[in-house]
Amino acid sequence: MDIDKSKKGTASVWAGELEEFYKGATTPPIVNSVTYGYHDLEEWHEVALGNKEGYIYSRNTNPTVAVFEEKVRVLEHAEAATAFSTGMAAISNTLFALLAPGDSVVSIKDTYGGTSRLFLEFLPAIKVNVTLCETGHHEEMEEEIAKGCKLVYLETPTNPTLKVLDLKRLIKAAKAVNAIVVVDNTFATPINQNPILLGADVVVHSATKFLGGHSDVMGGVACGKKELIKRVFQYREITGASLHPMSAYMLARGMKTLELRIDRQNKSAMQVALFLNDHPKVEEVFYPGLTTHKGHDFAKEQMSGFGGMLSFSLKGGYEKVKKFLPQLKWVHLAASLGSVSSLAGPPRTTSHVELTETQRAELGIPESLIRYSVGIENVEDLLEDLTQALNRI
Ligand SMILES: *Cc1c(COP(=O)(O)O)cnc(C)c1O
């Protein structure tokens, strides 16, 4: 049986689960075994050399982790996938595996906070040259890329103002100088966007967010070209940033409802964005699905849905945010995103807490900004909740 990668609902459920499991189990067993036994020394040797399929030691490969990797590999149209303990493990291992002293990287100022620290602090420490361009300034990026670089690192839509990059255009610029293109696809998910189909070499995810989908398990994954993922995997074997089999099981279980959840979250987020956009107490709404959004045209071109993440600013500044947020009933006030339950918080307290007010302003993050991750609740409840909370400020 072959999986049709365009049928994402079927692929999410069945990928990695086509072979028969232990004693006919219909869900993947959680294989906690650290090590795998062999009666035949020759076979053991062949597996250890990588000439024959099999398992040796769970820091390197594990049957339950393989189920999760296969789901991501299929959904992202990748040749290979390798899983990590967290999203940051996936991103840092990918960058350190593919870069060496003297190499140059071109990226954007608005990458995820942890990724940005790698670019500003840890990669320069090993003499990797990093150029961070204004997010969305495509010409500036093309000029920087054209100077020659080893790797172009992209993220779209971005956190927290949902800026959208034109992937096709930037991938074309990267290919012209033979640069490796890595895309963080966490916000879009493979349901809404497949960067590999647009020419990207590697896609990374924080599986902690939408892939797991329940805010109860952490994980990460890198997938893409076989020879690149092999290098990333070999690096991970040594850094030991492996995914635990229990976490792999939970991620694979969460992924079975990925398409259902994302469909719902796409629709609800659009409704919430339209509602907020018309509200007199709201200053600005950032959602790629709004035709007024700066990146709407690229988003429409490269995404099949606009995602479950949005942000909005309130008139009257942070004082209003302080009054508004605690009034909401159907959201957790917390960091993170992508769960079945809605979740909200101010970037000045969550993702961008380490920046000064001026630095946030430079990134286009208003002090009264609220990031809102739309869950799978009934959207009428979310709208009613927002209405009552806005009425109280
Ligand atoms: C959360 C997040 C990460 C980091 O993932 P962790 O699982 O928290 O390590 C990376 N990129 C994006 C876009 C994220 O939202």
Residue 88 near ligand 1, beta carbon < 6 Å: yes
Which position among 5, 8, 209, 320 bears the catalytic label?
A: 209
Residue 153 near ligand 1, beta carbon < 6 Å: no
Which position among 59, 253, 267, 323 bears the catalytic label?
A: 59
* pLDDT given at position 2: 82
- Distance of alpha carbon 298 from alpha carbon 136, whole angstroms: 11
- Distance of alpha carbon 368 from alpha carbon 306, whole angstroms: 23
- Distance of alpha carbon 144 from alpha carbon 190, whole angstroms: 28
- Distance of alpha carbon 224 from alpha carbon 329, whole angstroms: 41
Three-state SS annotation for the chain:
CCCCCCCHHHHHHHCCCCCCCHHHCCCCCCCCCCECCCCCHHHHHHHHHCCCCCCCECCCCCHHHHHHHHHHHHHCCCCEEEEECCHHHHHHHHHHHHCCCCCEEEEECCCCHHHHHHHHHHHHHCCCEEEEECCCCHHHHHHHHHCCCCEEEEECCCCCCCCCCCHHHHHHHHHHCCCEEEEECCCCHHHHCCHHHHCCCEEEEECCCCCCCCCCCCCEEEEECHHHHHHHHHHHHHHCCCCCHHHHHHHHHHHCCHHHHHHHHHHHHHHHHHHHHCCCCEEEEECCCCCCCCCHHHHHHHCCCCCCEEEEEECCCHHHHHHHHHHCCCCEECCCCCCCCCEEECCCCCCCCCCCHHHHHHCCCCCCEEEEECCCCCHHHHHHHHHHHHHCC
- Distance of alpha carbon 151 from alpha carbon 180, whole angstroms: 5
Which residues of the chain carry a pLDDT beneath 70?
1
Q: Is the peptide bond before 160 cis (omega within 30 degrees of 0)?
A: yes
What does the pLDDT look like over 250-300, one tens digit per residue? 999 999 999 999 999 999 999 999 999 999 999 999 999 999 999 999 999
Tokens 């493979």, residue?
Answer: 190
Q: Residue 184 catalytic?
A: yes
Q: What are the sequence ranges of the domains in the chain? A: 258-391
Residue 372 near ligand 1, beta carbon < 6 Å: no
How far away, in angstroms, is 64 Cα from ligand 1 center? 22
* pLDDT given at position 357: 85
The tokens describing 121, both together, are: 């602090």
Which position among 103, 112, 235, 348 bears the catalytic label?
A: 112
* pLDDT given at position 1: 67
Could you tell me which residues come within 8 angstroms of residue 292 by beta carbon, excluding any fewer than 6 positions away? Answer: 277
* pLDDT given at position 101: 98
Span 258-391 CATH architecture: Alpha-Beta Complex (3.90)
* pLDDT given at position 355: 79
